[in-house]
Amino acid sequence: MSRHTSFFPRPRPEKPLYYFLRDGKPVPAEGDEEAFAALLCGAEGRIVNDTFLCALDGTEIRICTGFLCFDENWPSDDGDPVLWETTIFWPGNELDYWIKRYTSAEAARVGHEEAVALVNAALASSI
């Protein structure tokens, strides 16, 4: 007899781990692991902002902010779910894989602009 083992860890009942976006609002993905897995396979609707810049040496820099689908604050009982993240991708630079996480879409939008300003300041200081 085979036993089905889920790829996803089981969240505690009192705090969801996985979320969908519905009408721009996070909604717990209660027991719908197949739909959740499909959601993870695509970025459609999950990207808050995506900015591409170019360093003086021609290196492409990407600043990407998106909805994660899972709570980065889980299993902690403290605070709201952390469901959005900004990442800087700048190969060969100390800011490569810089990450900041947020509890709301609005904070993520503001954080994205702050990350773009951080990269622009680093670019300006390298001139």
List the domain boundaries for the chain.
19-125
- Reduce the DSSP state of residue 90 to 3 states and report it: coil
Question: What predicted TM-score, i.e. pTM, was given to this entire model?
Answer: 0.80
Identify which of 30, 49, 29 has the alpha carbon closest to the alpha carbon of residue 39: 29
Exposed/middle/buried for residue 95 (C-beta within 10 Å: 0-12, 13-18, 19+): middle
Sheet holding 47-54, edge to edge: 47-54, 60-67, 84-89, 98-102
Q: Which residue has the higher pLDDT, 99 or 39?
A: 99
Residues 109-119 have a mean pLDDT of 98
DSSP 10: P
Place 38 in a pLDDT band, splitting at 50, 70 and 90: low
Two structure tokens written together for 70:
């899972």
Q: How confident is the model at residue 93 (pLDDT cuts 50, 70, 90)?
A: very high
Which tens digit of pLDDT belongs to each residue from 16-25?
888 888 788 8
